[in-house]
């Protein structure tokens, strides 16, 4: 009995040692894929999608899954470099260099990826102010050339070069890069077309300031953003001081509880806001649509609706021209906008904007979409139309 017990213990110990040995080896040996789609290429592509969504955590997980199958899979290594850059890690370029070295024995389509991912790493580093503008613009040109030498007809070097130019607010060169993707027609067309149209609109809007260029990329403008746009791109001082026409109280605001108050008193929620100076200026001039709420708050980070934007731009037209009748021009008429009644608080403003080409209604349906948010490029195009309308510049 004693011998049998000892034998069982010996076998158990052997099994445990073997398990430990296998566990130790398992951390170094490639993982066996569990299916056809469980491949380095598939996980890398998933990681790319997460990167584009700004989800660094999930992107990193997918790249790790790729590397668990192919320990030095170059695209995934380079992808982890992008994740590091998104997290502010200065060693990101070192990992891209490792990926470049690991790609020596691969074909050109794989060797291209470390170069493309370096474009993305440099873009993240520039955005985080880890790289000067001059160095950034110089380096991305060299990197793109390297990528195109390996894969001259691949869309990725052009697409991500376009994204790099957009981040640097270089919209002219960006337009050319996205257009090249469309001409190649080898993938990325849908995304490139969307970005191409955006930069075309920005170039058409021709913002005069860095603030304007940055706002062009905002998907939903806030009240603070629009205040800054009024100050920087439209220069409210030029016409509000010239006309000095007080309009507060002549028309109902889109938000029922919003009102203009004495701005000599403290505003409750802008003390630490980066755009405080711009907000205080529009409050000083009592820009209709950008007033205070009853509790003396401004709600600087609240999105601006199209109805509110229409009232703001209406105020600009009325105040700059001195024609008070424009503020009531369409009141009492039957509505010509399907989704706004004639007694809607912003109906007159919407009609004034649409008829003067400052804001657009839907070409097919005529809808104004008063509760929709306003993108940065929409606001910039409206400002350009205002400048043309008022001959301010």
Domains detected in the chain: 40-206 (1.25.40.10), 211-390 (no CATH)
CB contact set of 303 (below 8 Å; sequence gap of 6+): 220, 221, 222, 223, 373, 374
CB contact set of 27 (below 8 Å; sequence gap of 6+): none
pTM of the predicted structure, to 2 decimals: 0.76
What pLDDT shows up at residue 241? 66
* For residues 62-70, average pLDDT: 96
* For residues 151-174, average pLDDT: 96
**Residue 46: is its pLDDT beyond 70?**
yes
**Of 76 and 35, the one with more pLDDT:** 76
* For residues 191-197, average pLDDT: 95
Confidence of residue 3 (pLDDT cuts 50, 70, 90): very low
Confidence of residue 10 (pLDDT cuts 50, 70, 90): very low
* For residues 287-296, average pLDDT: 90
Confidence of residue 120 (pLDDT cuts 50, 70, 90): very high
What pLDDT shows up at residue 248? 42
* For residues 195-203, average pLDDT: 94
Confidence of residue 235 (pLDDT cuts 50, 70, 90): confident
What percent of the chain shows pLDDT beyond 90? 72
* For residues 49-75, average pLDDT: 95
**Residue 23: is its pLDDT beyond 50?**
no
Sequence-ordered alpha helix ranges (H) in the chain: 2-26, 40-52, 56-69, 74-86, 92-102, 108-127, 133-150, 156-167, 171-184, 189-205, 210-215, 223-232, 236-243, 276-284, 306-321, 347-355, 376-390
Confidence of residue 201 (pLDDT cuts 50, 70, 90): very high
Which residue, 247, 262, 263, is CA-closest to 349? 247
What pLDDT shows up at residue 247? 44
What is the token pair recorded at 266?
């403290």
What pLDDT shows up at residue 208? 84
What pLDDT shows up at residue 265? 58
Cβ–Cβ under 8 Å, residues 211 and 289: no
What pLDDT shows up at residue 249? 42
**Residue 328: is its pLDDT beyond 50?**
yes
- In three-state secondary structure terms, 292 is strand
How far apart, in Å, are the Cα atoms of 7 and each of 1, 14, 16, 266?
Answer: 10, 11, 14, 85
**Residue 304: is its pLDDT beyond 90?**
yes
**Of 242 and 359, the one with more pLDDT:** 359
What pLDDT shows up at residue 263? 45
Average pLDDT of the residues of the chain: 86
């Amino acid at each position: 009995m004693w011998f049998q017990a000892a034998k069982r213990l010996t076998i158990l110990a052997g099994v445990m040692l073997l398990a430990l040995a296998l566990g130790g080896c398992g951390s170094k040996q490639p993982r066996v894929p569990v299916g056809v789609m469980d491949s380095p290429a598939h996980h890398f592509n998933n990681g790319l999608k997460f990167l584009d969504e700004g989800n660094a955590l999930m992107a990193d997980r997918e790249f790790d899954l790729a590397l668990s199958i192919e320990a030095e899979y170059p695209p995934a290594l380079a992808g982890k470099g992008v994740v590091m850059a998104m997290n502010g890690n200065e060693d990101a370029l070192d990992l891209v260099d490792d990926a470049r070295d690991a790609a020596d024995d691969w074909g050109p389509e794989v060797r291209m990826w470390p170069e493309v991912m370096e474009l993305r790493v440099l873009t993240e580093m520039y955005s985080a102010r880890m790289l000067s503008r001059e160095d950034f613009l110089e380096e991305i040109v060299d990197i793109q050339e390297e990528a195109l030498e390996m894969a001259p007809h691949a869309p990725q070097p052009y697409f991500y070069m376009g994204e790099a130019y957009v981040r640097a607010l270089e919209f002219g060169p960006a337009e050319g890069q996205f257009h090249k993707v469309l001409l190649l027609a080898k993938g990325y067309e849908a995304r490139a077309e969307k970005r191409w149209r955006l930069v075309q609109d920005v170039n058409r809007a021709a913002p005069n300031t860095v603030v304007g260029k940055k706002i062009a990329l905002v998907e939903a403008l806030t009240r603070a953003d629009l205040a800054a746009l009024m100050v920087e791109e439209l220069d409210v001082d030029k016409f509000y001081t010239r006309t000095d026409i007080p309009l507060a109280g002549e028309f109902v605001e889109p938000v029922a509880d919003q009102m203009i108050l004495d701005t000599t008193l403290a505003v409750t929620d802008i003390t630490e806001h980066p755009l405080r100076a711009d907000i205080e200026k529009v409050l000083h001039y009592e820009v209709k649509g950008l007033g205070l709420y009853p509790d003396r708050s401004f709600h600087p980070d609240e999105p601006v609706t199209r109805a509110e934007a229409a009232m703001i731009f209406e105020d600009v037209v009325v105040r700059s021209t001195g024609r008070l009748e424009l503020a009531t021009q369409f009141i009492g008429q039957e509505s010509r906008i399907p989704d706004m009644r004639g007694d809607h608080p912003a109906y007159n403003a919407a009609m004034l904007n649409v008829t003067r080409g400052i804001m657009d209604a839907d070409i097919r349906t005529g809808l104004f979409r008063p509760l929709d948010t306003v993108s940065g490029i929409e606001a910039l195009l409206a400002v350009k139309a205002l400048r043309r309308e008022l001959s301010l510049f």
